[in-house]
Each structure stands twice: as structure tokens, then as C-alpha cells.
Structure 1
Amino acid sequence: MPRFRSFVYNSTFFLNGLLLFLLVMESRLVIPAWLQVAGRMHPLLLHFPIVVLVLYAGWILVGPRQDQEPFYRQLADQLLLLGAFTAALTALVGLLLAQEEGYEASALFWHKWTGAGTSFLSLTAYHFRNHFRSQRVPARLASAGLVGLLLYTGHLGGNITHGADFVLAPLRSGSEPSVALADAVVFTHLVQPVLEEKCISCHSTQKAKGELVMETAELLTQGGKNGVLWDTTQADLGLLLRRVHLPLDDKKHMPPKGKVQLTEAEVLMLESWIRRGASFTMKVHELPTTDPLYAYAAARLQGTSGTSYDFPVADESTLRELTSNYRVITPLFAGSPALVVNFYNPAGFSAQDITALKPIREQVVAMDLSTMPLKDEDVKSLAQFPNLERLILNFTPITGSTLTELKKVPRLKTLSLTGTKVTAAQLRPLSTFPALRTVYAADTDIPPTEFDQLKKQLTSLHWESGFRSDTVRLKLTPPVIENEEQIISGPVPLRLKHAIRGTVIRYTTDGSEPDSVSSPVYKPGITIAKNTQLKARVFKEGWYGSDQAEYFFFQSALRPQRLQLITKPDPQYPAQGSATLMDSVKSEASYKSGQWLGYLNEPMVLGLHFEKPTAVSSITLSTLRQVSNSIFPPEQIEVWGGPNEKQLKVLGTLQPTMPTLETRSVRGLAFECKFDPTTVQYIKVVAKPVGKLPPWHSRRGERAWVFVDELFVN
């Protein structure tokens, strides 16, 4: 037994020494695929040191004095040694796991060092165990401190894995203020809770798998390294739903196998939200009652919305008798006694179709009569539904002369009159309706000035007037750039398109942001013939302008006879050597793709040999920016030229703009160093890495990486 204990102690000492060495040399650490499997054992192993060290601390804090009986002393020693060994092993495989992409640097930094500290401290405590044995108070304090550090380390790891609010989330969700269905915002009260429950654990600022963060609307819109999350011009609506619909065993399926999956209702809700433009401000009351989003909202929010239905459930046989292909009656949500009625056949509609609903008049809370040949006198029959909350009369022939009859409906909250012939005078009495809160009156003949007066005078109502300044508008999707070639040797036509008719695509090529007024309008026939940073947005009256689409065209007009890497890249990122820079293949946005040359401790220095004297006016480097992994643009780019290697002069220098604390995205960047046309036969290019990362970076003071995948001479 002593021999085995000695072996475990020596193994623990060795593992701690290896752990310390790898921590110091982490920036140069390269993990092969087979060793990544060991790193992914970290979530399994971490339970052992937690249990064993907590048992040890409990034994020291409440157990008998160790000097009274050898058994007590041996048990404490064995628990501490086992805890030290498993802590070292767990910290070591955790360090291997930390080399994978997707973790926020600051959160990972503290979890990594507190985990290593737990390993070092437990080994130290075992080494000096005899010194503390007779001193009960110091021993208890030391064991309590060890467990405190262990639990804090576990807390940091839990934040990375599940999100910072994972533990207290159930308590907080129960204490959230209720929201009425009429006041609910689709994104805030429907979409965001699902993302927080099913997605945030892998896509937060602390653990951003695929460089995707879903904590805010801005970061969600930005997308990750694989692109934006939705695109309504695509049949499958883009990346988010594409990943959701993959087979469960597919490694790209989201959420991953083993995680809590999205329900069918949640998937349908997300699909409907994206189809409607993925608005972050749209409210539930703006939706048709037939929309899956509305049904999902009713099912999710009705229980906390302050609306309760105490009327009895309608008779099933009555519902079957009243339901047809042209008059569909459905529950407001599963299990609810409240009913929604929708009419679909204008040709066969008559006022009798409304009065026939008398047997279920108490249960009807929403009715959609859009496009039906409804007459003003028919509106009177709608007053027989005492619990009607939402009434849609869009594009019906009514003039509004009998709208005051609806004042008899005590619970009417939403009234939609879009496309009718109502007048401003007929809308004024609506402010006296007891429960009415929202009125839709788009596409009417009411002049904008009169409508503005209504809004100012009748402030108790929320007015929606369609395509005017107060409308709730949808956001356009970005334009589609159809050009497949990114590296060009001559003029190529620019090809942009958008799925929605009547849109205007505006673009810039000077690095500025496109706007809806001064930026050039895209028309077929525009050509790209040089290095160009294209930015494009889509605009249309009555819609919010799209997000920006961006594309960089690289011109490659001259090709040196030979390209030489004067300084070698870091051994971790050799790519294909000098051939990488002239293969006309743009790399993926992952620095581990094997297509990037990586430099850290010395500048990248290249030598370009031309067969004969050649006039050159610019050098362009294609680089990568990934702030979380210390990949920055070069601090400075220098271009030297002359007839040979020994007769060189500076042709041009460039100092790229550095990232800031707010810079999160992973992007390929191009830096063009221009200079006066000069005839040369040899060029030297120097790209200097940033010497010290800024104070706001988690690895402040360390050197930054420079990654390059292509070089272009023009």
C-alpha cells in the first residue's frame, strides 16, 4: 500500500509539473486530433475531484481528531491524495479542451487558472499534511479554503458551459413580471426565451461556438463565422433552421445531440418569425390569429397574461356542426375554452354565417372576417359576442357608420379596419370603447394630416396607419452577391440581386457605408476591375433598409517568378509554405483550416523575384482578424523594392487600424499598400505582428498573431 501511495503521489507531482509547463507554453501548444478526444473527457473527470475533495474537507471539519486513531489519519490522507491526483488529471485534460475554438478568453482564463490552482493547492496540502495534522484550526481553514476554490472553479466552468445565469434562472423566471398578450413583443417574450433555454449555453460571450453569440439582438443579427442566421431569400430560410432540421445524429444539428431539443411548436414559431422578417419590435397583437406565432404566444403567455376565461367549454358536437371549409373554428391555444373563428369564402358568405355562431357566442374571443362582403348592418350582429377581444374587418365593404354598435362588446381590445372606407369622424368614437387599445386603419381614404390629428387627440388608443411614419415596418434581407470569383485578373461584371420586387440596391466601393440617398444605385453592366471593397444594402419605401452585404474583390495582375519566405512561419501554422500565398485560393475563416501562414514571435518577411524589370504600384495582403484568439492585423506593413536583394529602398508603408474592445466578429481583411509606380526586379514585404496586446484584452501584454493566406501584386 505505501508503494502504491508513493506511485500515485509521484504521478500527481509529474502531472502538476506537466500542467505548469503547458500553461507557460500554451501559446505554442498544438493539439492533434487524437489528443482532442482526451480533452473532451474533462466534463466526465471533473466530478471526481469535486466529490473526493469535498469528502476530505468534510472529514477534516466534522470528523474525529486524526491523531487519536491511525485509521482516521489514513483515510484523510488517502482522500486528499486521490483528490490531488484527479484534480491534476482534470486540469490537464481541461487545458487540452481549452485549445478548441469558441470560448470567451476572459472567462476561460479565470476557469483555467483556478482549476490549475486547485490542483497545485491540493498537492501542496498533501505534501505538508503532517505539519497541519496536530494544528486543528489551520487544517480546517486550509481544507475550507481548498473547497472554496474548488467550488468557485466549478462555478466558472458552469458559467462557460451553461451560461452565467444557469443556476438561478428557474427562480428568476418565476419572478418575471407577467405580460399581457396584447402587450407582448414577439422577440422579447417568445423568441428570446427559447434561445436562452436551448441555445445560449453554447453561444454566449463566455462560450461562443462558431463565433456566434446570441445574447442580444445585435449579436444575433451579426451571426457567426458560418454567416448570418437567416435569409428569407433561401427556401430553407437560412443557417439557423437548416441546422435545426438536420438529423439528430448529424454533428452539425442544433442543439447538439444530448442537449434539450427544440419542440415542434418552437421550431414552427421560429420559422414564422423569420418569414415575417425577424423583427425585434413586432408585437403579438399585430399578427393574424391564424399565424402560428399568435397561437404559440397564446399558449405560452395566456397563463400569465392576466386574462382568464371562466366560461364553459363549447360542446364538441356543436363545434363540428359549425365548422366547415369556409368557416374554421379553432381553440385559441391547446386546452383553452376560448375560440377563434376565421371565414374564407367571400362568394358564399352571408350575415347568417355570423348569427349561426350564437351557440358559441360566449366562447368566441377572436374573429377574422377579412375580404368578406360584410355590410354595415351586419356589424350589429357582432355585438352579440360578449367576450370578443380581437375583430378583423380588413378589406370589407363597410363604411364605418355602425361601428359604435361595437361599444356593446365589453372586452374588445383590437379592431382592424385596414382597406375599408371608414372616415376620421367615424373613428373618433372608438376612444370611448371600454377595453379598446389598438386600431388598425391602413390603406383607408383618411388623409395623413387627419390621421395625425387622431393620434394626437385620442392618445388612449394605439393607432396603426400602414405605410406612414408610424407604421411597424419589416426589415429587408441583405442583397445577394452572385459573383463566385473573388480573385480577378481583369474586369468582371458585378452581379447583385434581391428577391423582393421594387427594391433598390445601393452600393459603395470606397469603404464607406451605403445609405438610401447618396450612394450609387446598382444597375446591370457595372464592372469591377481592381481591388475593391464592395458594400451593398437594399432599400424600399415602407421597409427598413437591409443589413450590409460585404465582399472583397482581389485583383491579381502580376505574378513573380518566385516567392520566398525569408522568415519561417510558426511551426503550428505552416500551411503550404510560400505556395499558400500564390495559389489563388481564399482560406476559410477558421485559423485552424490549414490554409493560413501564422506568425507570432517575428515579422513575416517575403521576397518576390521577377524574371525581368516590372512596374509595380501596390501590394495587397489578405489577412485574418479574430480578436478572441489574439489574431490581429499587422501593426505595420512595409514594401521595399529594387533591382536586387541588396539594393532596396522603401516603396511604401501602411499601418492598419487596430481592433477595439467592441470588435467581436471573425473577418478576413485585405490591406493594400499603394505607392508610386516603380520598376523593380525584387520586392521585400514585411508584416510586423502587434508587439503587445492592448490592456482590454484578456492576454494583455502578450504578442499578437498575424495570419496571411494570399498576396497580390499589381
Structure 2
Amino acid sequence: MTDSNNSRWVDYVIFGLSIFLIFCLIFESYIELPNLVAWLGRWHPVVLHFPIVLLLIAVFLGLTGKTIPKLLLTIATIAALITAISGFFLGTETSTKGDLLFWHQWLGGGTAILAVIWYWLHASDLGGKIYTKALQVALAIIIGFTGHYGGMVTHGEEFLALPTEKRQEEIPENPLIYKDIVARILDESCVNCHNPNKQKGELLMTSLSQLLKGGESGATIIPGNSEESELIQRLHLPVSDEKHMPPEGEKNLTENEIQILERWIALGASDTLRFSHLDNDEPLAALIEKFKKPDELRTWAELPAVADTTIARLSSDYLTIKRLAGNVDALSINMYKPPEYHSDLVTKLKSIAQNIIEMDVSGLPISQVEMGQIAAFENLEWLEIDGTPITDAETDTLKVLSKLRTLKIYDTQIGDNTLSVIRNMGDLEQIYLWKTEVTEEALQQLRIANPSLQINTGIDPEIQASFAKKDSVSKN
């Protein structure tokens, strides 16, 4: 009698949940959930795997002619109903549903309803009939399609597609800043959550007009004002902040990408601005040139391994060594003048010579000895030797640094002979030269010989701001 009563209550629960699910799907546009109920929908990604596994086990047993335990099918059916209902709750957070979310939701509901039908057939001793077998096959197929659409909603339309060789379209020589640069950055990290199929926060980021329109929090970008633009504010929030963009699990933007967005917005957020429209000293030009380079992480993957213990052993109060990203073996070196300076502060880095990508020895009393060691850092891309006593005699060693892209050498005694060395450094992108002995005539010849090289010969407000942090540290 007790077993019969328990069975009856289970039937009532399944029947009730089935009616509630159908009601939700049909009258979705008229339903507004209380906050607590809507919050329950966020458990959908947590519980959805449970019924999938149970149903597939039951399908396998049924199609292979084995006995399906009633308890297994009962739990699988109830779990499928709860998962479909919680998915509906989660879907109410999206004001505008695209095709992917629509089909995922209805296929998920269909999976639960088919499980209910199978449960009743099994309870009626019809589990061995041919139409029950067909239902089991259909259920397995629908589970697959439901998961496929769910994966595309969460991770993009190509997430569960067959693997193909992905070739990203090359950036044109004279790109449109929005179409060829900004949109590409947003596609990589933002559009997964802000597209017609998953319009999080009522925000679409697939066109400039939609960015300007904004979402439920207001304007996403304010042309001419990057600091007040919510997009930039959220990008700069700590990763642990729930309002940080992109959310945890998505690809974060690099510092270079964030700076590109900031400058593009500051310049008016135009969709007609081209690279050729930018002045040579416009910071956005250098940022885009860096963006067009091959992926740095892929390049750095070829560097020799360097252990954390080695970094710790070489570091000191006057020598900071950091990895440039995550667990990569590309290193950044920052040096400060100790009370008693000796050249071995630089020369002792010989063991990690191939790993040094960025180096700052500005303000140190370096000589030919240190410059000779720096010349051995063959992968160096960024070098700051400003405020040092070097002359043309020492800078001749720099000609072997074929990968150097940025050279800060201002406030030194270098002259025109150094520019002869710089002229032959093909990868050099920018150089800082104010307060030196270089003549205007030599500078003009360098501009003609290297028209793409950015030559900074004075401190403007933007450059001064970028060095504010550096200037605050005394190296004397």
C-alpha cells in the first residue's frame, strides 16, 4: 500500500511538472518571474548534465534489450523536467531571444516531454513495443541537438561544429579602424555574450549603431570620451568583479587591445576612420601596428624554459624580473640604481639572455660593458636606456638587436651617429629622442629613410601621462 502511494505521488509530481513546463513554453511572453525564482534558473548549467547521462543510460539499456530499472527512468524524467524548467527561468533573463536560444529552449522542453511519455509507456508495460524503441532513438537524437544548440548559445555558433582549419582574414594595409580592428577585437571577446542569439544585458555588440545604442545600463561607448564609456570602465574592473567584461571563462582583452578601444573612442568612435588618416605621432597608429604583428604568445612559445626558482635567484631589491603573461617564458626586466652600483647587475642576466623581451635600465650609470651584454639579448623588443651616460660609442652595439621595436633613449648624450645605427634597424617602430645631441637635419634624414618609424622628440601631455608612473620612482 505504501509503495502504491509513493508511486502515485511520483506520478503526480511528473504530471504537475509536465503541465507547468508546457504552460511556461506556451505563455512565455506573458510571464514575469520574481527575482528569487529567476535566480533558480542560474542552476540550469549545473543540473543539466545529470538527466542527460541518466537518459542516455536508459536509452542504451532499452535499445540493447536489457531491463530498465524503474527508479532510473523515474529520476531521469524528473531531472529532465527540472532542467527544462530551470532553463526556461534562465532564458527569461534575455529580453530578446535569437534562433539559437529559441531552438535550444524548445528542444530542451521536447526532451523532457519525450522522457515523460516514455515514463508512462514503461509504467504501462509497453516498454518493449516498437514505437517505444523509436521514441528512445528520437530522444537520443534530440538530446544531441539540444546540447549542440546549447553549446552554440554559450560559446558561439561554431563551438560544436566539425573542426576545420581556421584562417583569420588578414588585416588590410590601410584598414578601417572600426571594421578591421575594433570589430575584430569585440568579436573575439565580447560578441559571444552580446549577439542576436544571446543578448545579455539587452546589449548587442555586432555593429557600431548597436554599440552607440547601448543596453540596459545605458550608453556602451561615448564618442570622444573613453573614460566615461561603460565598455572601457568594465574592461578595467578587477577580474573578480562580477561586472568585469568579459566574464570569467571568456577570452580577456590584452592591454594593447584595450588601449586601441580607448583611443578609437577618444578620437570619436567613427566607422569611417582609416589608418592613413592618423598622424605619425598618434598613439593609435603604434597600437594598431603592434596589433597587426603575429601573436606574441605564439612567438614566445619558442623561447627556452626558465624556472621560477631561476627568476627568484636573480631578482633583488634593485632588479625586478616578471613574466610578460601567465606562464610564458618571456621576461620583463626592470632595474633600479642601488647605493653602490656595479655592472654585474646587468651582466649576471646572461643565463636568461634569450628570454628577455623587455628591459628598463634607465637612470643607471651603464657603460660599454653593460651595453655589450644587452646586445646579447637577441629577442629584446623593448629597451629603455634613457637618462644614462651613453654616447654614440655605446649605441653602436644596438645594431645586432634585430627584433627591437621600441627604443627609449631620451635625456642622453647620443648624437647623429646613433641615428645611422637606428636607420638600419628594420623592425624598430618607435623611438624617443628628446634632450639629446641629435640635430634636426639628421632627424629629417631619418624620417625620409624610415617613414613608418615614429620619432618622438618632445613631451606632449599624452606621453607625459604614460610616463607618470615611471617618473614617480626615483632612481638616484
TM-score category of the 2 structures, normalised to the smaller one: 0.5 to 0.7
Q: Does the Cα contact within 8 Å between 2:419 and 2:442 map onto a contact in 1?
A: no
Q: Does the Cα contact within 8 Å between 2:281 and 2:456 map onto a contact in 1?
A: no
CA separation of 1:340/1:58 partners in 2, compared to 1, >3 Å: closer, same or farther?
same
Whether 1:15 aligns to 2:17 is yes
Q: Does the Cα contact within 8 Å between 1:183 and 1:283 map onto a contact in 2?
A: yes
The match for 1:163 is: 156
The match for 1:374 is: 440
CA distance in 2, matches of 1:378, 1:250: 49
Whether 1:58 aligns to 2:32 is no
CA distance in 1, matches of 2:156, 2:200: 13
**1:478-527 deviation digits (Å, cap 9, x = unpaired):** xxxxxxxxxxxxxxxxxxxxxxxxxxxxxxxxxxxxxxxxxxxxxxxxxx
Whether 1:206 aligns to 2:197 is yes
Q: Does the Cα contact within 8 Å between 2:386 and 2:408 map onto a contact in 1?
A: no
Whether 1:317 aligns to 2:374 is yes
Whether 1:119 aligns to 2:112 is yes
Whether 1:339 aligns to 2:405 is yes
Whether 1:104 aligns to 2:106 is no
Deviation of 1:377 (Å): 10
CA separation of 1:273/1:170 partners in 2, compared to 1, >3 Å: closer, same or farther?
farther
The match for 2:337 is: none
CA distance in 1, matches of 2:134, 2:199: 38
Deviation of 1:270 (Å): 2.2
CA distance in 1, matches of 2:161, 2:429: 38
CA distance in 2, matches of 1:89, 1:99: 16
**1:251-270 deviation digits (Å, cap 9, x = unpaired):** 43333456554343432332
Deviation of 1:16 (Å): 0.5
User: What letter matches 1:317 in structure 2?
Assistant: I
Deviation of 1:32 (Å): 1.6
The match for 1:215 is: 206
3-state SS of the aligned residue for 1:375? helix
CA distance in 2, matches of 1:177, 1:138: 50
CA distance in 2, matches of 1:40, 1:321: 49
Q: Does the Cα contact within 8 Å between 2:171 and 2:292 map onto a contact in 1?
A: yes
Aligned equivalent of 1:80, options 58, 62, 73: 73
CA distance in 2, matches of 1:200, 1:177: 18
CA distance in 2, matches of 1:213, 1:169: 27
CA distance in 1, matches of 2:155, 2:383: 51
The match for 2:232 is: 241
Q: Does the Cα contact within 8 Å between 1:354 and 1:382 map onto a contact in 2?
A: no
CA distance in 2, matches of 1:34, 1:222: 30
- What are the within-5 Å matches in structure 2 for residues 362-511 of structure 1? 362=425, 364-366=427-429, 374-375=440-441, 379=445, 390-391=452-453
User: What letter matches 1:159 in structure 2?
Assistant: M
CA separation of 1:224/1:170 partners in 2, compared to 1, >3 Å: closer, same or farther?
farther
3-state SS of the aligned residue for 1:201? coil
The match for 1:600 is: none
The match for 2:82 is: 89
The match for 1:461 is: none
CA distance in 2, matches of 1:91, 1:21: 12
Q: Does the Cα contact within 8 Å between 1:162 and 1:200 map onto a contact in 2?
A: no
**1:577-603 deviation digits (Å, cap 9, x = unpaired):** xxxxxxxxxxxxxxxxxxxxxxxxxxx
- TM-score by length of structure 1 reads 0.43
Q: Does the Cα contact within 8 Å between 2:223 and 2:269 map onto a contact in 1?
A: no
Deviation of 1:26 (Å): 3.6
Deviation of 1:213 (Å): 0.3
The match for 1:145 is: 138
Q: Does the Cα contact within 8 Å between 1:107 and 1:160 map onto a contact in 2?
A: yes
Deviation of 1:204 (Å): 0.9
- List runs of 5+ in structure 1 lacking aligned partners: 67-72, 330-334, 396-714
3-state SS of the aligned residue for 1:228? coil
CA separation of 1:338/1:132 partners in 2, compared to 1, >3 Å: closer, same or farther?
farther
Whether 1:354 aligns to 2:356 is no
Q: Does the Cα contact within 8 Å between 1:101 and 1:210 map onto a contact in 2?
A: yes
The match for 1:273 is: 264
User: What is the RMSD computed on CA atoms of the aligned residues?
Assistant: 4.5
More helix by share: 2
CA distance in 1, matches of 2:383, 2:236: 38
Q: Does the Cα contact within 8 Å between 2:224 and 2:265 map onto a contact in 1?
A: no
Q: Does the Cα contact within 8 Å between 1:365 and 1:390 map onto a contact in 2?
A: no
Q: Does the Cα contact within 8 Å between 2:383 and 2:407 map onto a contact in 1?
A: no
The match for 2:222 is: 231
Q: Does the Cα contact within 8 Å between 2:224 and 2:268 map onto a contact in 1?
A: no
CA separation of 1:131/1:292 partners in 2, compared to 1, >3 Å: closer, same or farther?
farther
CA distance in 1, matches of 2:230, 2:127: 60
- List runs of 5+ in structure 2 lacking aligned partners: 300-353, 358-370, 396-400, 458-476
3-state SS of the aligned residue for 2:293? helix
3-state SS of the aligned residue for 1:302? coil
- TM-score by length of structure 2 reads 0.62
CA distance in 1, matches of 2:79, 2:41: 14
Q: Does the Cα contact within 8 Å between 2:95 and 2:199 map onto a contact in 1?
A: yes
CA distance in 1, matches of 2:422, 2:142: 68
Deviation of 1:86 (Å): 1.0
User: What letter matches 1:117 in structure 2?
Assistant: G
Q: Does the Cα contact within 8 Å between 1:12 and 1:123 map onto a contact in 2?
A: yes
Q: Does the Cα contact within 8 Å between 2:212 and 2:222 map onto a contact in 1?
A: no
3-state SS of the aligned residue for 1:246? coil
3-state SS of the aligned residue for 2:52? helix
Deviation of 1:299 (Å): 4.9
The match for 1:30 is: 32
Q: Does the Cα contact within 8 Å between 2:54 and 2:76 map onto a contact in 1?
A: yes
CA distance in 1, matches of 2:49, 2:402: 45
CA separation of 1:289/1:122 partners in 2, compared to 1, >3 Å: closer, same or farther?
farther
**1:192-212 deviation digits (Å, cap 9, x = unpaired):** 333223222321112222321
The match for 1:39 is: 41
User: What letter matches 1:225 in structure 2?
Assistant: E
CA separation of 1:151/1:392 partners in 2, compared to 1, >3 Å: closer, same or farther?
same
CA distance in 2, matches of 1:27, 1:382: 66
**1:239-279 deviation digits (Å, cap 9, x = unpaired):** 11122233445443333456554343432332233223333
CA distance in 1, matches of 2:112, 2:268: 51
CA distance in 2, matches of 1:153, 1:24: 19
CA distance in 1, matches of 2:228, 2:408: 28
CA distance in 2, matches of 1:288, 1:366: 14
Deviation of 1:92 (Å): 1.6
Deviation of 1:125 (Å): 1.4
CA distance in 2, matches of 1:157, 1:321: 48
CA distance in 1, matches of 2:446, 2:30: 80
**1:528-586 deviation digits (Å, cap 9, x = unpaired):** xxxxxxxxxxxxxxxxxxxxxxxxxxxxxxxxxxxxxxxxxxxxxxxxxxxxxxxxxxx
Q: Does the Cα contact within 8 Å between 2:407 and 2:430 map onto a contact in 1?
A: yes
Whether 1:175 aligns to 2:167 is yes
**1:396-454 deviation digits (Å, cap 9, x = unpaired):** xxxxxxxxxxxxxxxxxxxxxxxxxxxxxxxxxxxxxxxxxxxxxxxxxxxxxxxxxxx
The structure with the largest alpha-carbon Rg is: 1
Q: Does the Cα contact within 8 Å between 2:114 and 2:135 map onto a contact in 1?
A: no
**1:85-115 deviation digits (Å, cap 9, x = unpaired):** 1111111222222333434265544333322
| Mean Cα deviation higher: 278-287 or 26-35 | 278-287
**1:623-665 deviation digits (Å, cap 9, x = unpaired):** xxxxxxxxxxxxxxxxxxxxxxxxxxxxxxxxxxxxxxxxxxx
User: What letter matches 1:74 in structure 2?
Assistant: I
CA separation of 1:321/1:167 partners in 2, compared to 1, >3 Å: closer, same or farther?
closer
